[in-house]
Structure 1
């Protein structure tokens, strides 16, 4: 009998159909026809209660009194609960405490949940919630993370990574001294704004009470196991009493990794108190006020470079606006620090991450998980160096890429497959006619004093794995029924990204079946327990490997049975195209094999498990190997800018992205397109605004602008997958994750805007351009560039040049 290990070795060969093929999303037709069921679409039992949350109208205060009598007497109201009514734990912080389910003493942000109302209709619940009388004593409101950091008001301690180019540990003084010895020094600051997740389906949950203390909760969550845990703790019952199910989400983007749980907990609390089903679905404005965003950051940087523009030393300080509580901010700022290099070798590097507390909703996970924010400082510096030395930004970027002899990060990890960075840029530079277009754009700008064009080609290096080591695990459960159909359940959740489709392909490939034989069922905590969130781009990597593990075990058992049952050599048997093949050809169909195995009492079910190997990080020293591998990409973008009004347009975007051997090229290309456009929104149009009292002003589509179809260049968004470079790590069929890395390709749009603005000073000065780079900010930056040009009367002078 061959071992599972030997079968794994066989399966590591070049994978065959039905993976490595473009296949339609498993719910595509249901999505476009409207028949796909989300939490708010589920049929409701008779007597279901509808919930509304009473929210704070102040950002920071003591809660002196909460009078809910008028709420309880309102028409249709059945139940009203406040913090005093929570039977178990009242803090639902996902990692560290600080997130009260309902406020009992201190209000920490405008819109924070104070109480929950259950009524016979949603309208009645919402109207009743407005009748509460809330007495508070104001406390100082802080909305500036720098102010908070300066006075030491942090949600978690500051963390530092410091490493010398020789591989030894460094410190700020030693690296500052080395930086001062470089031929050129430059410094800068940058503000990057937050971003609303703006998922199509707002936060929602439906709680159905069962016998005794049992409860089934349908939750629009990326992390059903955490929802299960927190509901159990809030209700004071064992975890096994709570089952959480997630069939699909209408988008998540990280916003449903932790912040779906409080909504589910409130629904469960009402269901427990009343014995009736309870549904809570947040209105868009309430969702935006109540839930956190992408972390805004303040960036400060200093770089020392040689005469060629190569970085010798770097000091980078990243201050994250974490909101009022830790949530996932410790890990998010960590990842920003891990990606402070993006694709470049920093030499002697000191990276510091500060986690500031402010009086806004606790900021949380968002596609990229801090990585995009971490990259902005070094990408800003690339432009700064180029303008200071009179060189093209692409030349500076290429000179600083990780390469042989310069392939170790500032946290001590070797960058595997680093030559792909140069490969991607070289191919895109050639296919996109970079240098010819650069000359054309310079000529255009010289002839047009108002309308200017900009061009930028930027790389991406993104680490794949959860930085919290214990999350790098997954389970799967595979059943084969006696008609030969296959059912798979795994720990990942589907939010439109095509995870279930890829898992279907994996199971079908391993069992030698067509994909129509395999069905994925809703993610449930009673089928696969203790699951990790679907986040960190790891959904297919983790759950694909766990599913493959289960299928390999089943296949080994079936082939062992077939060898004995048919008196055939075990090594000669294989399952392909729905048939059992042997030395003489087809021996029996899949269905016949399953029937024979069932009659002989062979188990037709198995579970799989996978844990990512070779990852570790020592927080004390700031060094380790936190990522299993890196995904790479590059984007070439051209913009046109009206420098008087600040209006601009993306003229073209060409993307070349590394996904290893793609599991499903169509889905991967769709993820790249979506990630790029969402990243462009973060960097250009999506501006969050609060008033001085801490109230969010941009709480709906009328005031918050996500990218529209008109923001994408018609026919000029080109996406290609890098071919011929499988993943060097032993991932699922040598593929690479694709969820988050493409988001950062949009940095090329922002860099192209800066390039257009630099043309106003004959490319001699890089202007600061905070993000989002709204037309207003672009207009003000253009004005600053013209003022600088007037003050430095250098008409006709050549840009400063230095020797190569």
Structure 2
């Protein structure tokens, strides 16, 4: 039927000459070895191997991409073997209301979101009609072959080392109505500063030009956790919100006492404070509060609730929630050269209630392209002395503008909001989009498999032209062998 009954997985990791971040990366690989699929019985092992190569640090996704790609590869192998479309096998094995416990014992609480999001992309990408078109194309072309795949993403959000799930922020409100903000997150182009500034501005009802955010500094916010695990906004924006809310509550208390009114009569909006029928500028209120010796500064703090993980017993709840997504990719391969192009991509991703749709869409686009590079061109090569030879752009091929599909469709899933109490019910968007690129690998698998239906291609990642030619050769050898046996 194509339904998974049991899974036995062994991950072997080349960790280099030192442990570095290998523990956390390999643990997350194991956490994501289920991708979006229910395993009734599972044994998942990981061996962290010391080798004579350079030490390895973490890549965006922190081991999650490797675990999820394994699951998608397994789904494709099942589909090819039983002669069904991979999409059917994926939907058949999804987590659902009856089958919602991960191999590490955490329930998948939003399985209905995954089903709904995936179903929407099946429809909006016109998957089944395009499947017919791909089949027709392959029947009429001997050299060029097309492949099509639609894959899901379910990615856990939180550090699996519990003590890292905390953040601090320092907020000052000045008597001119402006705010100085500092927090423990590092801006690296992902838009973290913008999002946190938006949150603080929203709390005070001010325009964002009134918020000045300064570079992360441990003299202002000590003991900062890494800006990683897609938790930068979740942690730091909530800490900043808590600080801003504390200052705002002090102002409300002061105004209630001064104007003899209840809290419901006070509102902060458009750089103004409304007290019943009266209105004041925020600067006026801040100055009055300062003269009344009200403290206009606070060091906010946030610690992610409801997460526990005992590594020795492999039990608990390592993630606060899951982020979901889906990607549909169509590719064309040249079976004479191994060259490949991505013709069209459709992405639908769950960010909860988006704090900034422009930033989130940019993260999704960038994450997908980065993942596509990891799976198609970015090959690591070591020499006999264990030295990394692909060490610079001259020897290591990353995606260029010409590699991005011309037909590139990205949309945010219309979410009802994160059911967990995150910042404004949003969801993280840093790492999950990388795994959307699994669709490209699976589409290439589909294209190669069309050469000899029923035979699983021996396709390695990254799917360089050499890897594609190797897979094509193995398929044709199997085909020739079967033909010879029949004769």
> TM-score, normalised to structure 2's length?
0.98
Unaligned runs of 5+ in 2: none
Are 1:594 and 2:286 an aligned pair? yes
Alpha-carbon distance between aligned partners in 2 of 1:588 and 1:343, rounded to the nearest angstrom: 52
The number of equivalent residue pairs is 486
| Deviation sequence 1:619-676 (CA, Å, 0-9, x none) | 2221210000000000000000001110010000000000000000000000000000
Secondary structure at the aligned position of 1:638 is classed as strand
Offset of 1:570 from its aligned partner? 2.9
Q: Which is further off, 512-521 or 573-582?
A: 573-582
> Comparing both structures, which one devotes a greater share of its residues to helix?
2
Alpha-carbon distance between aligned partners in 1 of 2:179 and 2:314, rounded to the nearest angstrom: 46
Are 1:574 and 2:264 an aligned pair? no
| Deviation sequence 1:718-768 (CA, Å, 0-9, x none) | 11000033111110000000000000000100000000000000x311212
Corresponding residue number in structure 1 for 2:476: 786
User: Highest Rg: 1 or 2?
Assistant: 1
Secondary structure at the aligned position of 2:437 is classed as helix
- Pairs within 5 Å for 1:556-567: 556-567=249-260
Q: Is the 8 A contact 1:479 1:487 kept in 2?
A: yes
Offset of 1:690 from its aligned partner? 1.2
Alpha-carbon distance between aligned partners in 2 of 1:587 and 1:601, rounded to the nearest angstrom: 21
Aligned with residue 325 of structure 1, among 18, 29, 42? 18
Q: Is the 8 A contact 1:416 1:728 kept in 2?
A: no
User: Any runs of at least 4 consecutive aligned residues in structure 1 with deviations exceeding 6 A, and if so which?
Assistant: none
- Pairs within 5 Å for 1:58-97: none
Q: Which has the higher contact order (CA 8 A, sep 6+)?
A: 2
Offset of 1:795 from its aligned partner? 13
Aligned with residue 498 of structure 1, among 170, 191, 200? 191
Are 1:725 and 2:416 an aligned pair? yes
Aligned with residue 408 of structure 1, among 98, 101, 123? 101
Secondary structure at the aligned position of 2:131 is classed as helix
CA gap of 1:583–1:689, structure 2 versus 1, over 3 A, is: same
Q: Which is further off, 692-701 or 652-661?
A: 692-701
> TM-score, normalised to structure 1's length?
0.60
Aligned with residue 217 of structure 2, among 497, 504, 524? 524
Alpha-carbon distance between aligned partners in 2 of 1:373 and 1:507, rounded to the nearest angstrom: 37
Offset of 1:423 from its aligned partner? 1.0
Offset of 1:794 from its aligned partner? 9.9
Corresponding residue number in structure 2 for 1:382: 75
Aligned with residue 203 of structure 2, among 494, 510, 513? 510
Corresponding residue number in structure 1 for 2:384: 692
Offset of 1:378 from its aligned partner? 1.2
Are 1:312 and 2:19 an aligned pair? no
Q: Is the 8 A contact 1:344 1:400 kept in 2?
A: yes
Corresponding residue number in structure 2 for 1:421: 114
Are 1:614 and 2:306 an aligned pair? yes
Q: Is the 8 A contact 1:510 1:548 kept in 2?
A: yes
Are 1:555 and 2:248 an aligned pair? yes
- Pairs within 5 Å for 1:203-602: 308-584=1-277, 586-602=278-294
| Deviation sequence 1:540-564 (CA, Å, 0-9, x none) | 0000110000011000001111111
Alpha-carbon distance between aligned partners in 2 of 1:696 and 1:331, rounded to the nearest angstrom: 23
Are 1:759 and 2:456 an aligned pair? no
Aligned with residue 325 of structure 2, among 625, 629, 633? 633
Offset of 1:374 from its aligned partner? 0.9
Aligned with residue 744 of structure 1, among 411, 414, 435? 435
Corresponding residue number in structure 2 for 1:652: 344
Alpha-carbon distance between aligned partners in 2 of 1:573 and 1:437, rounded to the nearest angstrom: 56
| Deviation sequence 1:515-553 (CA, Å, 0-9, x none) | 111011010010000110000000000001100000110
> What is the root-mean-square deviation in Å for CA atoms of aligned residues?
1.3
Are 1:777 and 2:467 an aligned pair? yes
Corresponding residue number in structure 1 for 2:458: 768
Secondary structure at the aligned position of 2:363 is classed as helix
Alpha-carbon distance between aligned partners in 1 of 2:118 and 2:261, rounded to the nearest angstrom: 53
Unaligned runs of 5+ in 1: 1-307, 797-804
